[in-house]
Amino acid sequence: MSDGKIRNMEEFAAASGLSRPTVSKFFHDPASVRPPTRVRIEGALEKDDYRPNIFAMNQNRKLTKNLGIVVPCLADPFFAEIARDLEQRCIAAGYRPALYGAHDDPALENDILDSLRALKPAGVLLAPLGRVSNLRAIEKFCADVPTVLFDSMVDVAGLTFVGSDNPQFATLIVNYLCRTGEPPCLFEMKTPSNPNACKRRLGYLQAIERLGQTPHVIRVKGEGWNFEEIGRHGGARALAEGRVRTDTVLCSNDRLAIGFLTACYEAGLRVGHGDGCALRVAGQDDHPLSRHACPPLTTVAQDCEAISRLAVETLFRGIASDASAGQATLFEGRLVMRDSA
């Protein structure tokens, strides 16, 4: 740009102080941007004497049928299951999805976003790591590529999100446990990877206090996504130290609960709601393995089918309009009663 001539849309967007997606939206449909933005772009066009290459614009819009699907951990059966459902929906719609796992590594998550840029995807379905994610990188990526977040919402305004109503999960299971026995304590990680855990803690505290009971939270050490081991070792210490002061334990997620069940077994404590049982244990998520735990785990099920369906539909609408809705849609959980509580 040394000669002062605007050569492409990126340079025009930079010169006019607007984002490239906003400028692109204007050229495809001037009515799709706000009136003040439209006036600003029209003024910049007169000033800079820039005219876009319409052929190149159309080629770029139709460049690929590639889609990206990014999850925190492909080894987790929950994410493997929802990723498979998303993948099948995208394939059925004629797209070519590429599946990525971030392995609880924020640097890898950033690298995946960079790789997707090179792939020139039509859009991306992203379940971010959450607490350790680079929020600036996610915000910048979502400004450039039609993206729908699912499972875990990060603290960036204006992003489109489809997921579960986590406070409602905790309220639902707390009400059930209090109806059928002692009020539960909450068993969670001190530094959870997924921000959903914080929303569930808030739901637990509000539900317990609403019922006139005293909340009790057991927080254990642990990092990353190895929840079963964290639940097992943290649970064993909590039991040995007498920190479990009620006969009912609500775990922040099912994988922690499965680890806690192992700790109970190793401590010689029978779990369930029948005669001879020392503890009731419940989880949240309805993880694919929770029904095969011993005993089978009482939990709150996510509506994975609805989340997957709406995430894909929302992404396709965003691709078609070259814009995203910037709204959050939350689905309530469903109580699943099994033998553990």
Q: Give the confidence band of 339 by pLDDT, cuts at 50, 70, 90.
A: very high
Where in the chain are the domains? Answer: 9-60, 64-163+304-331, 166-301
pLDDT recorded at residue 15: 85
- pLDDT exceeds cutoff 90 at 305: yes
Q: Do domains 9-60 and 64-163+304-331 have the same CATH topology?
A: no
Architecture of domain 9-60: Orthogonal Bundle (1.10)
Could you tell me if 144 and 318 are in contact, meaning their C-beta atoms sit under 8 angstroms apart?
Answer: no
CA distance 218 to 257: 13
The CATH code belonging to domain 166-301 is 3.40.50.2300
pLDDT band of 60, cuts 50, 70, 90: low
The predicted pLDDT at position 59 comes to 46
216 exposed, middle or buried (CB, 10 Å; 0-12, 13-18, 19+)?
A: middle
The whole-number pLDDT of residue 104 equals 87
Asked if residue 295 has a cis previous peptide bond (ω within 30° of 0), the answer is yes
pLDDT tens digits, 150-170: 998 887 766 899 999 999 999
Homologous superfamily assigned to 64-163+304-331: Response regulator (3.40.50.2300)
Cα–Cα dist 32/13, whole Å: 16
